[in-house]
Chain A
Amino acid sequence: MPNESTIKKLPNELVTEVALYLSAADLLSLGSTCRAMRAFVRDADLWTVKIKRDFGCEGLEFQWEQSDDGAYSSRERQRKYMKLEEGEWMSSCAEWDCAWLNEGNGHYWRIEHNPRSPFGRSLNLGHRWVFWLHAHTRLRIPPGRYEVSFGLQVVQPNPMLRFVSFKIQEKPPVSETLDGEAQMYADEMIRFPMAEVQSTYLRALSTPDFREVTWQSTFLVRGSSEKGKEWGEVEVEIKDTSDMPKTGVNLDYVKFKRVHVDEDTIDPVAEGVNERPIIRDYPRRRRRGDRTPEEPGLKSLFTGFFSRIGHARCCAIKTVEIAMIHRDTEDLRTMTQPLLSTEQLVEIRARQRTFENAYVRTALGEFSFALVILRIFSKEFYTIGALYTFSGFIVLTAALFRRGRSNREFFGPEQAKHFRTSGDVVLMLSALYGCLYIGNAFRPDLETVECHLWTVSVSVLSRKALPLHAQNTIPGLGMHQYSFTYLCNMCFGLAYMNCRNPGAYMYMCCQVPSSYRICRELISIIPHEGVNMVH
């Protein structure tokens, strides 16, 4: 390729350095461009370094799914990075520390199976009366600014429900040298500011479905060190000890979603809690190995497949877009052909003319002829019609095979582009056709069989002999094919002569000028090649 991609010329370390600045989606797009980049993106080390750089050491230990066993494979690392990049940390209320859980005669909070929850279980009150509500959890998340949402369900509108407070605060870093009482003291002293949400408007949730409720408060997690790479520990507390009954609320999860905002533009006064919460529909989350019951397995398989195809397409489009962004505006006008230069275009078109057009035309012609035989000739010729159709199939298959191989050759990563001559396919075709002819001789006419055999063997031999000259010179290739065809025709003529068929003599006479020409050109080539070999 004259336009060898410049990214491959860069040293590997440099490419890695650049790749560390890309997002996961961009990296995947890069990986779908060519084989070398794919291998590069599939390196587990790359993703490990990326996780470590962006999310610190804790990112590597982070487990986001039950099945995630921290395996050191490229795919696992990549998924982990994407999960981290997504910036969503959820904590199921079913795993919280909860007072009065499942105590007594069931008049308290309990954990129930809930198919709509992303975790499958939720903290459920049902329709019972609970006065004391106190649940809390801690979770570690990377530093950043987060939007906090709660997954809630109001099963039964409760006019007395007006005050459930959610408290979010970040635990201060605890030095390991402190112990016992001193630690508690330190806790009290350097408490980070907390965000408190009061669910005054829970009554707004009148539908019995689960809803995701966001009080518009962004919460800043500072992390526990100056570098900002250590994760912070966040404490979430739901507490209400008032004597109002808090029936009819199901708690599902708390979600921290990273928001990207410019720190300078944040008004410190406006930060905090809105009066009215934002209520969203419950997120539909598909997890691996987790199927919603209304969806049959096969269908989900298909949708998964097609979404993957769509994703690949998006990647390709994105790659082109990236290429467009990185080019000058001058080039943008000619971006209709971003991939191939004119010479390459000419070459691939030449290939496609053969594999897409010539082969298909041959096959269609054979189909037509089979039809003609079917209709016009008498019954004895039906076999020949079938054979013609069959040969049409063979040609079509050969076209597909050759097309695939040619495309692999052309778009493949090899440094020097070799054109693979069609030797084996032509050989196969002639052999198959020979078999057909033999099968065609359904009358046990010995002479016919003999002549077909002879034809095939001579054509195969000629094919074998020909690569001796002009093996890899492209101008020689045309010669090559011509000589092959003429030799085949000559063989046919000779074969028919062998059958003492008067038509064969005429056929031979027609072939003589061309065979004369071909012999002359062959003779002219051989000394040339010989000279080359001497040098």
Chain B
Amino acid sequence: MMLSAGSSARDHCANERTFLSWLRLSLTLTLVGLAFVLKFDLNAIDEPSHEERTLALPLGYTFIALAILSVGVGLANYLRLLSLLVRKAAIVQPNKWITGVAFGIGTVIASVSIFLMATHFETGT
């Protein structure tokens, strides 16, 4: 419990929304990862090729690990910003590790999709 002065209620709500956003990302990551692991194929509609099958399992586990990481990071970020807000610190922003993790997750997704694109164009032609 704390005194609601200035914009503190809004700040805390915004912080919470960000946490929920991290949670959503992790849910999606888990979903995709589990789908990869369980069905052993990368795509739900098209017929999977051989190399896609071999790739699916590690990829799925990577995604699940990323999901756990993103929940952890979201939680850490939330708690950190919360304590900063309570202390009324001047600069309340995620530190460079959290931003780095966000960038890292983005990089993994981008590289996977680019890789899939490449295989798709190879098999398609």
The chain A residue sitting closest to B23, CB to CB, is A364
- Chain A residues with CB under 8 Å of B17's CB are 357, 361
Would you mind naming 6 contact pairs between A and B with Cβ atoms under 8 Å apart? A342-B6, A357-B17, A364-B24, A364-B102, A365-B21, A367-B25
A352-B93, A356-B92, A365-B21 as given contacts; A379 in contact with B46, CB under 8 Å: yes
Report A107 CB to chain B, min CB distance, Å.
Answer: 64
- A337 to B8 Cα, complex, angstroms: 14
A372 at the interface (CB under 8 A from B): yes
Report A396 CB to chain B, min CB distance, Å.
Answer: 6
The chain B residue sitting closest to A350, CB to CB, is B7
- Chain A residues with CB under 8 Å of B35's CB are 375
B68 at the interface (CB under 8 A from A): no
- Asked whether B113 lies within 8 Å of A403 as measured between CB atoms, the reply is no
- Chain B residues with CB under 8 Å of A139's CB are none
- Asked whether B103 lies within 8 Å of A382 as measured between CB atoms, the reply is no
Report B89 CB to chain A, min CB distance, Å.
Answer: 8
Closest CB pairs A-B (n = 10): A389-B110, A337-B88, A386-B113, A368-B28, A361-B21, A357-B14, A385-B113, A353-B14, A346-B6, A382-B117
- Chain B residues with CB under 8 Å of A356's CB are 18, 81, 92-94
Report B6 CB to chain A, min CB distance, Å.
Answer: 4
- A365 to B21 Cα, complex, angstroms: 7
Chain B residues within CB distance 8 Å of chain A = 5-8, 10-11, 14-15, 17-18, 21-22, 24-25, 28-29, 31-32, 35, 43-46, 81, 87-88, 90-94, 99, 102-103, 105-106, 109-110, 112-114, 116-117, 120, 124
- Asked whether B88 lies within 8 Å of A336 as measured between CB atoms, the reply is yes
- Chain B residues with CB under 8 Å of A368's CB are 24-25, 28
- Asked whether A360 lies within 8 Å of B25 as measured between CB atoms, the reply is no
A314 at the interface (CB under 8 A from B): no
- A353 to B93 Cα, complex, angstroms: 9
A313 at the interface (CB under 8 A from B): no
Report A252 CB to chain B, min CB distance, Å.
Answer: 46
Report B125 CB to chain A, min CB distance, Å.
Answer: 13
A345 at the interface (CB under 8 A from B): yes
A23 at the interface (CB under 8 A from B): no
- A353 to B106 Cα, complex, angstroms: 22
A371-B29, A375-B31, A407-B91 as given contacts; A393 in contact with B106, CB under 8 Å: yes
- A382 to B117 Cα, complex, angstroms: 6
- Asked whether B18 lies within 8 Å of A357 as measured between CB atoms, the reply is yes
- Asked whether A393 lies within 8 Å of B91 as measured between CB atoms, the reply is no
A357-B14, A363-B106 as given contacts; A370 in contact with B113, CB under 8 Å: yes
CB < 8 Å: which of B25, B106, B109 contacts A396? Answer: B106
- Chain B residues with CB under 8 Å of A376's CB are 44
- Asked whether B44 lies within 8 Å of A386 as measured between CB atoms, the reply is no
A100 at the interface (CB under 8 A from B): no
For window 309-358 of A, CB contacts with B under 8 Å fall at 336-337, 339-340, 342-343, 345-346, 348-350, 352-353, 355-358
The chain B residue sitting closest to A340, CB to CB, is B90
- Asked whether A396 lies within 8 Å of B102 as measured between CB atoms, the reply is yes
- A153 to B125 Cα, complex, angstroms: 81
A400 at the interface (CB under 8 A from B): yes
- A361 to B106 Cα, complex, angstroms: 13
A383 at the interface (CB under 8 A from B): yes
A336-B88, A348-B90, A363-B106 as given contacts; A353 in contact with B10, CB under 8 Å: yes
Report B71 CB to chain A, min CB distance, Å.
Answer: 12
- A58 to B21 Cα, complex, angstroms: 66
- Asked whether A393 lies within 8 Å of B113 as measured between CB atoms, the reply is no
A508 at the interface (CB under 8 A from B): no
